[in-house]
Amino acid sequence: MEDLSFGPIRFLAGENRGRYPNCHSLYIEGAGILIDPASSRERLLRLRAEEEVKMVWLSHWHEDHFMHLDLFDDLPLWVSLQDAPPLADLDVLMKWYGLNEEEKPVWGPLLLEQFHFRPRKPARSPSSFRRRPYFSSGTTILPVSDPGTGTSFPTSTGRSPPSNVSRKFRPMLF
Q: Domain limits at 85?
A: 4-173
The CATH number linked to 127 is: 3.60.15
Q: Give 17's Cβ-side CA count (13 Å radius).
A: 0
The total number of residues shown for the chain amounts to 174
Report whether the peptide linkage leading into residue 21 is cis, meaning its omega lies within 30 degrees of zero: yes
Which position has the higher pLDDT, 110 or 5? 110
Q: Over the stretch 111-160, which tens digit does the pLDDT of each residue have?
A: 999 999 999 998 876 555 455 556 666 666 666 555 454 433 333 333 34
Structural domains of the chain, count = 1
Beta bridge partners of 167: 147
Closest C-alpha among 140, 147, 110, 118 to residue 8: 140
